[in-house]
Amino acid sequence: MARKAQRAALMVSFFLSLAACAHHQTPTVAPVRFHGDVTDAVGDAITVPGVARSPDLVSASVVVTDESVAFSVRFAPGTFDSATTAITIQLDADRDTTTGVPLKGMGVDYTVGLGRFAGNRATLSQASNGERCARPAAPCTYAVGTRWPVTFRSDGVDAAIARSALDGFDGRLNFRVLAYVMPDGARFSTVTDQLPDYLKAPGTVR
């Protein structure tokens, strides 16, 4: 876990160094305030007709510094393609199941979209009461907010958003990652894998 936190911290430093170079400043390593890691078994992805190899999640990490929240998602070799694989990271940013969209033991306040449907950016969306949500009730949908840089790897993706983009965020959260695909001709996307697994508690950042 320490190695994953170090890797994610270096990723945060990379994004910060880009901004520093633009201002001709010497980049510094941002201290990690909170972090969390989750792993998943290889080979448990759901088979989807028309998809040669279903996206198979193996790990995810979240690292929080004073300025940013960084995400790192990895897949089993040969199962990730940024053009066809979609990723949603669900964030319970206040660790309160009574706020946000109620999903699998979390109150999802934000989602981060990566890969297909998000293009070459990370899309941050916030829980919202849409027109189809029951009244009165908890939010049932999400409103797209800001977009952030990503770095695609052969086996996954790294992204970082500003910590200030999460309202009232104290640095700790619960999270879950979903991977899904939409084969040609399909009307809906199919979730191929998630971590932690469906019956397990969400990942934690502490």
- Chain Cα centroid distance, residue 201: 16
Structural domain harbouring 63? 32-195
Residue 43 has pLDDT above 50, yes or no: yes
Is the model more confident about 139 or about 77? 77
Q: Quick check: is 83 in a domain?
A: yes
Residue 162's pLDDT is 98
Query: Binning pLDDT at 50, 70 and 90, where does residue 30 land?
Result: confident
Q: Is 19 inside a domain boundary? A: no
pLDDT digits (tens, 9 = 90+) for 147-204: 999 999 999 999 999 999 999 999 999 999 999 999 988 999 999 999 999 899 999 9
Answer whether residue 107 shows pLDDT above 50: yes
- The whole-number pLDDT of residue 7 equals 56
Tell me, yes or no, whether 169 lies in a domain. yes
Number of domains into which the chain is organized: 1
Residue 130: which CATH number? Answer: 2.60.40.1190
Confidence of residue 3 (pLDDT cuts 50, 70, 90): low
Note whether residue 7 is domain-resident. Answer: no
- Is 140 domain-assigned? yes
Q: Is residue 13 part of a domain?
A: no
pLDDT band per the 50, 70, 90 thresholds, residue 19? very low
pTM as predicted:
0.85
Task: Round to whole Å and give the CA distance between 9 and 29.
Answer: 8
What one-character-per-residue DSSP string does 119-186 give? Answer: TTEEEEEEEE--TTS-SSS---EEEEEEEEEEEEETTEEEEEEEGGGSTT--S-EEEEEEEEE--TT-
Residue 9 lies inside a defined structural domain of this protein:
no
pLDDT digits 0-9 by tens, 141-150: 999 999 999 9
* More confidently predicted of 2 and 115: 115
What's the half-sphere exposure (Cβ side, CA atoms, 13 Å) at 131?
A: 0
pLDDT attached to residue 184: 87
With respect to residue 152, please indicate whether it lies within any of the assigned structural domains: yes
